Structure 1
Amino acid sequence: MKNSMAKLSFLLFGLVLLLAACGGGNETSTESTEGNSGTNTDTEQPTDAKSFKVGITQIVEHPSLDAATEGFKAALEESGLNIEFVDKNAQNDQSMNTTIAQDLVNQGVDLIFANSTPSAQAVKGATSDIPIIFTSVTDAVGAELVESMEAPGGNVTGTVDLHPDTIANTVAFLKDELGAKKVGTVYNTGEQNSVAQIEQVKALLEESGLELVEAPVSTSAEVKQATESLIGQVDSLYIITDNTVVSALESVIDVANANQLPLMVGELDSVKRGGLGAYGFEYYDIGYEAGQMAVKILNGEATPAEIPAAYPANLKLLINKSAADNLGLEIKDTWNAEVYE
């Protein structure tokens, strides 16, 4: 009996050990499965692949700048890099613009995309270490963002938003096709990019025997009144790529339409909003090209100093048919224009 009980006890002890071993085996198998799953995931997205934080600072919301930001993001997203975007918009507030620049630097972002001249100037003043890519900048050299277009130097490069022929073509169109003699303009004297453009416009108008009548503003709330002040003094309007005015462009369009004044604008999105015409390009494209520059920098292929700043390509004339009809203006084949309806 004792032997039988001993044998039974031994068998029961062995069974307990066997069950424990099986249980331990299952736990090990579960950990291994999780590990294999992680390994498979790591094959698709390696755990040692670097992720990047990219800051975006934009001076104000309007279609052209928004399109440039969209193009920039698209280029980075298509690159396959692991990107976290930190989006900031200053709502045309210079104090906030400066605060945003410092905040992005304090966050330790890997690269900053500055959309507009004021945005780029603010971030350049905040850091000399973090790479900066700009777009929607009219005069990168004059704004002291780069040493030259060909050799930017420092930590800044990007794409400008003024084709060398834009203003000259617009002035010629105002004179030859619209018969303008006195051209009115509204712009923010506090925007360096605007001042640079106005200087070119004035010089070219004077060379062509035309006169420029200026109505300066400092905020978008002043745009309508400034435009109205030009009535009776001018026979046409020309709005450059001024961020303050373009953000309130509908005010200018309303005054122009009410007074039957042709309104030439500085970029294509403003034509789609109601301007008569513009020699321009797609802001999405210059944003996309800026994004391609950013990819090279994040991949370690080049530094900002090694990437030439770029002018926009594919300059074209776009005419708004409704605006032309309102003026009783025939769209001529000789203009070689695209028509927005």
Structure 2
Amino acid sequence: MNKNLLVLGGIASVILTIILGLNLRKSKKTALTVGIVQTISHPALDAARNSAIARLKELLKNEVSVVVQNAEGSILTAQNIATSYHNNSRIDAIITIGTLATQAVANIEKEKPIIYCAVTDPKSLGLVHDKTNACGMTDAAETKSAISLIKSLMPSIKNVAILYNQSEPNSASAVQEIDQSISESSLNSIHISVNNEAEINAATNIAVQKADLVVVPTDNTVACVLQSVAKICLKNKKPLLVCYDTELYPGILAYVGGVNYSMSGSLAGEISVKLLKKLQKPSDILIIKPDTQKIVMNKKAVELLGINIPENLKIKVEIKD
């Protein structure tokens, strides 16, 4: 079994290298080439990728070629893409989107500049130091105020379930922060972890049985099926708090907003140009955090759950239909 996996991994690496080479040969020879590695297909990460490409093209015109690869949630694929980019001398810089992609690239690439976005905890990946070749944007959300607010609106809440993929490094750090926020609000934390998308519906059903509030951190696995999670919470009339900007699917009570993934991608493109032109070093930039964060509440969910928002608290939230 292990031998088969190694063979398949080797074949995948060769195929990625060939595809990358073909993509580069097809493109018109340019002064600079930027490789993009995306963790998985998801509207927020797609927005970051598209904005990064648009900004690169805007600033460098025809002087840049962009090669895009998507790991689709596979660690092995992300590692193979990272190896291909590292070994290709025509790749001048690498933009990584999401923690898995960033971790894979940072583990092997120590010279070319790495510009990351949608990474929850860059410090835990060892990217923040004075000799680093990586810098970028974090999408970490501040959850304390949101959990405190929901508790004040729903005093009967005692137990809070956190739904996440335990193998995602970004989720691990986010869960720690959420645990602290829950504890500071004198609530009980329940961890409901999954290994893949197929387990999420069953895990959500467990969460709504055990808890009074369900919280989803910045987790790529859960994000891909968030609408299904919201449906289960809606059916069981349990509030759902999402710790990143998202569409307000029926069943989501609120999300912690402030991270604009399109802007993060655009900024990644802009930073790439500065690094490629030697105007700055990664250690000059390190981590860029969201300027402001807000709590956005779903009007329909508020009404369904019978929540009354006092006038003095309305200034702390944005209510959307």
| TM tier, smaller | 0.7 to 0.9
| 1:34-58 CA distance string (max 9 Å, x none) | xxxxxxxxxxxxxxx9632111111
Query: Over alpha carbons, which structure has the higher Rg?
Result: 1
Alpha-carbon separation, structure 2, partners of 1:130 and 1:250: 38
User: Bigger CA drift: 301-310 or 323-332?
Assistant: 323-332
Kindly provide the amino acid, as one letter, of the partner of residue 277 in structure 1: A
Instruction: Return the TM-score normalized by structure 2.
Output: 0.83
Question: Which of 224, 244, 265 does residue 247 from structure 1 map onto?
Answer: 224
Shift of 1:197: 1.2
Whether 1:323 aligns to 2:301 is: yes
Question: Which of 265, 278, 293 does residue 271 from structure 2 map onto?
Answer: 293
| Structure 2 equivalent of residue 62 of structure 1 | 42
Residue segments in structure 1 that go unaligned for 5+ positions in a row: 1-48
| 1:171-207 CA distance string (max 9 Å, x none) | 2123212332111121111111111111111122122
Question: Which of 178, 181, 186 does residue 154 from structure 2 map onto?
Answer: 178
Map of 1:226-245 to 2, 5 A cutoff?
Answer: 226-245=203-222
| Structure 1 equivalent of residue 14 of structure 2 | none
| Structure 1 equivalent of residue 169 of structure 2 | 192
Residue segments in structure 2 that go unaligned for 5+ positions in a row: 1-28
Map of 1:97-176 to 2, 5 A cutoff?
Answer: 97-108=78-89, 109-147=91-129, 151=130, 153-163=131-141, 166-176=142-152
Report runs of 4+ in structure 1 exceeding 4 Å deviation: 330-333
Shift of 1:79: 1.2
**Contact 1:63–1:269 (CA under 8 A) maintained in structure 2:** no
Check 1:273–1:261 CA distance in 2 against 1; reply closer, same or farther (3 A cut): closer
Alpha-carbon separation, structure 2, partners of 1:328 and 1:70: 40
Alpha-carbon separation, structure 2, partners of 1:265 and 1:155: 32
Whether 1:96 aligns to 2:74 is: no
**Partner SS for 1:318:** strand
Name the Cα RMSD after superposition.
2.0
Kindly provide the amino acid, as one letter, of the partner of residue 70 in structure 1: N
| Structure 2 equivalent of residue 3 of structure 1 | none
**Partner SS for 1:339:** strand
Aligned residues: 287
Shift of 1:338: 2.7
Q: Percent of aligned pairs with the same residue?
A: 30
Shift of 1:247: 1.2
Alpha-carbon separation, structure 1, partners of 2:310 and 2:270: 38
Shift of 1:321: 2.5
**Contact 1:276–1:319 (CA under 8 A) maintained in structure 2:** yes
**Partner SS for 2:283:** helix
Shift of 1:303: 2.0
